[in-house]
Structure 1
């Protein structure tokens, strides 16, 4: 049983499916990848990163914040101290910057855009302990453009599980073909303002769109690149092994496109974005 913010997803085949990885034979075909991104709204790229680099950053994060042991089993922490360490040491720190600008990421986006790239400074790390649920726990359904109105819509997000993230651990889920409807609504001037999530009710949204939520058993090293228009959300962490879910989402765009200035400060949970 999969849930998000306590809502139980419909497991019927017309409401739940799987993300499709990019086939090996087109991984180096830029035109094919661009066409695939336009068609699907996402590129699921298993093994884009070295798993050792991902696990090293995961170990650094847990050791620095004290949130979990080296395996990912949650620990009790002082919440005020956690926030201090997270926003004054980890988020602006050189370790996180190095991870997000590693050649495997930076060079892939430069190749995909066929030009200079720009990485938004506001980069987000998310952790969820098993058993946490209820409205506001998991990321609610949204598409990124509602939060990035003041820049180009060619910005692409990279969602990166920091460690293995089977479906039960609460990874990201995408609403199939939702970007096509969002693009039509955007073109019609039906802009969502102010910036806000669409809903926490994922099964209701799937019915409204007559679409499937797509999930995957992510592994360390996997990356999902998605457009600013596709609707996505996070699942609840119901991991039977009791391990923490850890991920980051960062945004690259062509350097010559308009940049949303509000996203050029380090992420903080009280930054209003």
Structure 2
């Protein structure tokens, strides 16, 4: 059973399906990748990043936050096993996250690794710009059951990225990187099949300009679009690249082993296209974006 913010997804074949990875024989062709991105709105690239690069950063992240009570200290930090919620020092976590990890060299190295930056330069065919505002998310198991968050919850609601990036190019591309293995039970991203075609048309016509997330009710949105949510069991090193018009959301973390889901969202574009200057500062969850 898959849920998002407590809403149970319709698992019928016309409302739920698998995310399709890019076939190996297309990985080296820009033309075929661009055609696939235009058709599907996403590129699911298995093994794009060396798993050791991702795992090293995962260990760094949870190791730096261990003293805040986020993870159990009787297990290796890289495992990311959640400590009891009442042990968490939220002020200490926020300080370490926003003052040390987000602006730190380890995070910059991950987001600018050649397997990412060079890939975007090749795919986009020119000099590229990485938006400085890069987002890291960790989600506790069963956080959606917390009465303080239920209904608006811990899981990312359905949205498309252009809503938050209107002062720059609409050709900006997002890359979602699961920082560790991320099976569906851990709360990975899901994509609304074909949604970018409808969103792009409505944006062009001026009939769709939401100010924020669309909804937490993923089943109702699938009905409205008459479409399927696409899921995957992501492995460490996998990434998904998606357009600014592609609707996506996150599942709830219902992991029975107590693992935190960890991921990052980064955005690249051609350097010669308009850049949203609001996104050229380090991410903070109170930055108003």
RMSD: 0.8
Answering whether residue 85 of structure 2 is matched by residue 74 of structure 1, we say no
Match of residue 190 from structure 1: 207
Using the TM superposition, give the Cα deviation of residue 136 of structure 1 relative to its aligned residue in structure 2, in angstroms: 2.7
Aligned to 1:117: 128
Tell me the matched-pair count: 272
Separation of aligned partners in 1, 2:183 and 2:95: 30
Gaps of 5+ in 2: 72-76, 145-149
User: What is the CA distance between 1:251 and its match in structure 2?
Assistant: 0.1
Q: CA–CA distance in 1 between the matches of 2:153 and 2:259? A: 20
Rounded to whole Å, the distance in 2 between the matches of 1:190 and 1:210 is 18
CA distance in 2, matches of 1:70, 1:163: 9
Distance (whole Å) between structure 2 residues aligned to residue 163 and residue 15 of structure 1? 27
Alignment match, 1:199: 215
Query: TM-score under structure 1 normalisation?
Result: 0.98
Instruction: Please tell me whether the aligned partners of residues 160 and 246 of structure 2 are also in contact (alpha carbons under 8 angstroms).
Output: yes
> Distance in 2 between the 1:181 and 1:164 partners?
32
Deviation at 1:263, TM superposition (A): 0.3
1:237-256 equivalences under 5 Å are: 237-256=253-272
DSSP 3-state at the match of 1:159:
strand
- 3-state SS of 1:61 partner: helix
What's 1:93 paired with? 104
Alpha-carbon distance in 1 for matches of 2:192, 2:35: 19
Residue equivalent to 1:39: 39
Deviation at 1:239, TM superposition (A): 1.1
The CA deviation string for residues 72-117 of structure 1, in whole angstroms up to 9 with x for no partner, is 1112320010000000000001110011000000000000011000
1:218-237 superposed matches below 5 A:
218-237=234-253
Q: 3-state SS of the aligned residue for 1:111?
A: helix
In the alignment, structure 1 segments of 5+ residues that lack a partner are: none
Deviation at 1:241, TM superposition (A): 2.0
SS at match of 1:44: strand
Matches for 1:116-135 after TM superposition, within 5 Å: 116-133=127-144, 134=150, 135=152
